Structure 1
Amino acid sequence: MGKYFGTDGFRGEANVNLTVEHAYQVGRYLGWYFGRDHKAKIVIGKDTRRSSYMFEYSLVAGLTASGADAYLLHVTTTPSVSYVVRTEGFDCGIMISASHNPFYDNGIKIINGLGQKMDAEVEAKIESYIDGEQPEIPLAQREYIGRTVDFAAGRNRYIGHLISIPIRSFKNVKVGLDCANGSASSVAKSVFDAVGARTYVIHSEPDGTNINDSCGSTHIESLQKYVIENGLDVGFAYDGDADRCLAVDEKGHVVDGDRIMFLCGKYMKEQGRLKDNTIVTTIMSNMGLYKACEREGLRYEQTAVGDKYVCENMMANGYNLGGEQSGHIIFSKHATTGDGILTSLMVMEVMLEKKQPLSVLADEVTIYPQLLKNVRVADKKTARENPKVIAAVAAAGEALGDDGRILVRESGTEPVIRVMVEAENDVLCAKYVDQVIDVMKAEGLVLD
């Protein structure tokens, strides 16, 4: 991770540690960097946060001042920006979003010409420019000044792409969608309606401050209740920029990313469509997923946390399914990044082709109890490398043995250490998580 760019872009509280000046400088550098030998074309999408408009205008000012043309998708999803970049010949794309964070946070995600997250080398150059470590970039003049282009048509083409994917109609299937008052509000219902579903939508009235507010994939309990009360066949919950998806079965039970990967992976293996019968996961995936994979003859690989690393592994090895427990799932036949709406379409395909409800498909994975606590710290590296914390983690791991595990890692987007334990029961999970956190507190590493 860099000084400003983490695993999911440049993120922070709007006008606190991510300011309009930062956005302008990002635009200035990208416009110059990609326009050194031609007229750069850069496409921009945004989510529904109040500050997204402010950052959009600031990025556009920077881009056009450096001579680039800025194409605006307006409110749209992160995967739609990825799709448009790689299919419409753009130099890069920018998504303005802080994903699942509250409305007062925001972020700048940069997507390369292949539709994947930007190379760390380019992000490092942007950081160097922001910090004044590079010569000033010349301002474009006269006919070389960039222009702004309304490009809502790009989002519409992405919607058409999604509609073309299902292999059969969703007719008479009652589907609930929780759009998190975010980007999915502009896309999801159109897709499900077009393929014949009886679509029920909640949290699709964004007002600039209600994105992810007690809704979406981070607050899925409202969708669980909605599915039960309305007798729906399935429900899907997205996050703020719709690059992740969690599901709810017809009984109101949550089906997380691990179970989604398993049921899709098993189906693709049966169809002869899963490359090397392999799923790419992260170190945060549940032990229950791995035990189910071993039982079904599915191979798996593990990467660092972040769909960026999952994607890198998939591209390097040609794998076509991977993702995270949180619901970032990549189906590389159709996309180069996590796509929540695409994921829900893939789950629907498995349900319809196997003629089984989601509860039956997901029940093949027995999830181990897992407890994750986030600890706010003054310095993540100092907390992670503290000798007494390291010793406490090692002791917990030894005590858990083969029937559990402990994982302590730094957040890529927040000043937080994440402590996670999987074990045979909730009591053991709480015991070992709290043991490690108590050591961190005793060492004075935890912020009040």
Structure 2
Amino acid sequence: MAKSFFGTDGIRGTVNTESLNSEIALKLGLAAGKIFTRGDHKHRVLIGKDTRISGYMLESALESGFTSSGMDVFLTGPIPTPAVAYLTQALRADLGVMITASHNTYEDNGFKLFGPDGLKLTDEKQLEINELMNRSDIMSLQDKNQIGAARRVDDALSRYIEFAKATFPNTMRLDHLKIVIDCANGAAYKVAPMIFWELGADIIVIGDQPNGRNINQDCGSTKTQSLKEEVKSNNADLGIAFDGDGDRLVIIDEKGDEVNGDHLLGMIALSLKNKNLLKNKNIVSTIMATKSLENYLKSIDLKLIRTKVGDRYVIEKMLDIGSNFGGEPSGHLIINDFSSTGDAIVSSLQVLSLMIEENRPISNLTNLFPLTPQKNYEFKTENINNISNSFLEELSNKMNEKIGDEGRVIIRKSGTEPLIRVMVETDTKNIGEKLIDEIKLSLNHST
């Protein structure tokens, strides 16, 4: 049976296990290199990475696969995922690869792939690569006369810094704003502080001492307690937490409270609408966006379009319907006038520009609508493959019938971890708790 290497966001797994190792990296380079060396031009691939210690090992194996396929390899070193998307376009590369496991801890790693347009590869293109990776003769498909070279892109960071700064209004500066930045000991640890400092902010930086093993460790967008404390103790105007690869952000307001992702989406949507900068009335998010956001957008004459979970699906839908703004409540925000993928630094600059325009604190700007309470539960299992999608769909339908008009239930497999994610959205606390307990029981019986 052919192995499926790809999940919802590229390839991801625990390093030096059957889910992710040097052999898989080599095969990925060989297979993707074979597919992206079509045509007569000189072919090139750009490879970036975050700060995980396993990045060295995987980068070397990946480089070997691509050069064996005849592609020239451009290496950037540690750099955010959106920088890879941008530089893939800017350097006219055929492919971009980011070595990262995003918000996961250092034991995991993976690969995100971008086409020459800076967009993440489609399911169809990933399937094509997957099929080649499964071929027993993958090592013999290469042309002995076509071998590529590798080189470092010494100005990769400075190129991205200038790109990001250019998305901030050139009539504005960040003077008089005190900002705490949490770089998650990850890919943004060099570029983020430089960008905010060059724009004039008074910055306090945490999570900027990566050692290969501390990425996302008690820091970053999934662990914001230290950032909240720093914001309060320094009387800062704002806190910004990035995840390990710099495509996702969490905002902490001046009170030390986390800004809800749906409120961020609503705030930016309203701002773009008021400036007549929306291409149409459609705002794209995922099934995880709340009913509250949907109702708020409707109240300002906008429409929420939902997709599967994953910023890749949000972007695909945006392109399909001609929308220029969307994102996930988890913090992937996409303004495709600027970026072809989620970019936490660019998104945070848009939030800051709005604060300056309105001359109001972030807590005041985001308090747009009351949120329907959500209960989230993660069911961890080593037997994730034994739980079928059809079973989860049937269970989800059953729970939604029970909750009726009082809310909604989403039950899905994580695309990046061995988890079943459950979300119950309802104003009625007892109903939410009862349904969670019932879902737990059903999932336990299924394994």
TM-score, structure 1 normalization = 0.94
Q: In the alignment, which of 298, 303, 310 is matched to residue 299 of structure 1?
A: 303
The separation in 1 between residues aligned to 2:302 and 2:358, in whole angstroms, is: 19
The aligned residue for residue 72 of structure 1 is: 75
The aligned residue for residue 439 of structure 1 is: 442
Residue pair 1:258, 1:286 contacting (<8 A) in 2 also: yes
Residue pair 1:250, 1:357 contacting (<8 A) in 2 also: yes
- Say whether residues 1:335 and 2:316 are aligned partners: no
- Say whether residues 1:5 and 2:21 are aligned partners: no
Residue pair 2:45, 2:74 contacting (<8 A) in 1 also: yes
The separation in 1 between residues aligned to 2:260 and 2:109, in whole angstroms, is: 25
The aligned residue for residue 174 of structure 1 is: 178
Name the SS of the counterpart of 2:205 in structure 1.
strand
The aligned residue for residue 16 of structure 2 is: 15
Change (3 A) 1:239 1:263: same
Matched-pair identity in %:
37
Deviations 1:7-56 (A, max 9, x none): 11110001111110110111112223222433210000000001011101
Change (3 A) 1:390 1:139: closer
Which shifted more, 303-312 or 404-413? 404-413
The aligned residue for residue 264 of structure 2 is: 260
CA shift, 1:390, in A, is: 5.8
Name the SS of the counterpart of 2:256 in structure 1.
coil
- Say whether residues 1:373 and 2:374 are aligned partners: no
Name the SS of the counterpart of 2:368 in structure 1.
coil
Q: In the alignment, which of 373, 380, 387 is matched to residue 382 of structure 1?
A: 387
Alignment gaps of 5+ in structure 2: none
- Say whether residues 1:243 and 2:247 are aligned partners: yes
Q: In the alignment, which of 251, 258, 270 is matched to residue 274 of structure 2?
A: 270
CA shift, 1:249, in A, is: 0.7
Residue pair 1:383, 1:440 contacting (<8 A) in 2 also: no
RMSD (CA atoms): 1.7
Residue pair 2:387, 2:446 contacting (<8 A) in 1 also: no
Name the SS of the counterpart of 1:6 in structure 2.
coil
Q: Equivalences for 1:410-425 in 2 at 5 Å? A: 410-425=413-428
Q: Which amino acid aligns with 2:322?
A: G
Which shifted more, 193-202 or 421-430? 421-430
Q: Equivalences for 1:30-109 in 2 at 5 Å? A: 30-37=32-39, 38-109=41-112
Deviations 1:314-336 (A, max 9, x none): 11122111000110111100001
Residue pair 2:272, 2:278 contacting (<8 A) in 1 also: yes
The separation in 2 between residues aligned to 1:36 and 1:277, in whole angstroms, is: 39
Q: Which amino acid aligns with 1:369?
A: P
Name the SS of the counterpart of 2:176 in structure 1.
coil
Residue pair 1:97, 1:108 contacting (<8 A) in 2 also: yes
Q: Which amino acid aligns with 2:251?
A: A
The separation in 2 between residues aligned to 1:317 and 1:437, in whole angstroms, is: 37
Q: Equivalences for 1:339-418 in 2 at 5 Å? A: 339-377=343-381, 378-380=383-385, 382-386=387-391, 393-418=396-421
Which shifted more, 126-135 or 104-113? 126-135
Name the SS of the counterpart of 2:247 in structure 1.
coil
Q: In the alignment, which of 307, 313, 338 is matched to residue 309 of structure 1?
A: 313
CA shift, 1:113, in A, is: 0.8
The aligned residue for residue 153 of structure 1 is: 155
Deviations 1:341-387 (A, max 9, x none): 1110011111111111100111113222111112134135734433x
CA shift, 1:428, in A, is: 3.3
CA shift, 1:229, in A, is: 1.0
The aligned residue for residue 322 of structure 1 is: 326
Change (3 A) 1:22 1:364: same
The separation in 2 between residues aligned to 1:390 and 1:437, in whole angstroms, is: 15
Q: Which amino acid aligns with 1:150?
A: R
The separation in 2 between residues aligned to 1:34 and 1:40, in whole angstroms, is: 8
Residue pair 2:239, 2:251 contacting (<8 A) in 1 also: yes
Name the SS of the counterpart of 2:155 in structure 1.
helix
Which shifted more, 198-207 or 25-34? 25-34
Q: Which amino acid aligns with 1:75?
A: P
Name the SS of the counterpart of 2:188 in structure 1.
helix
Q: Which amino acid aligns with 1:428?
A: I
Residue pair 1:371, 1:426 contacting (<8 A) in 2 also: no
- Say whether residues 1:288 and 2:289 are aligned partners: no
Residue pair 1:289, 1:366 contacting (<8 A) in 2 also: no
Which shifted more, 25-34 or 163-172? 25-34
CA shift, 1:152, in A, is: 3.0
Q: Which amino acid aligns with 1:382?
A: I
Name the SS of the counterpart of 2:387 in structure 1.
helix
The separation in 2 between residues aligned to 1:390 and 1:86, in whole angstroms, is: 39
The separation in 2 between residues aligned to 1:186 and 1:156, in whole angstroms, is: 10
The separation in 1 between residues aligned to 2:267 and 2:419, in whole angstroms, is: 32
Residue pair 1:93, 1:111 contacting (<8 A) in 2 also: yes
Name the SS of the counterpart of 1:184 in structure 2.
coil
Alignment gaps of 5+ in structure 1: none
Q: Which amino acid aligns with 1:74?
A: G
Residue pair 2:227, 2:239 contacting (<8 A) in 1 also: yes
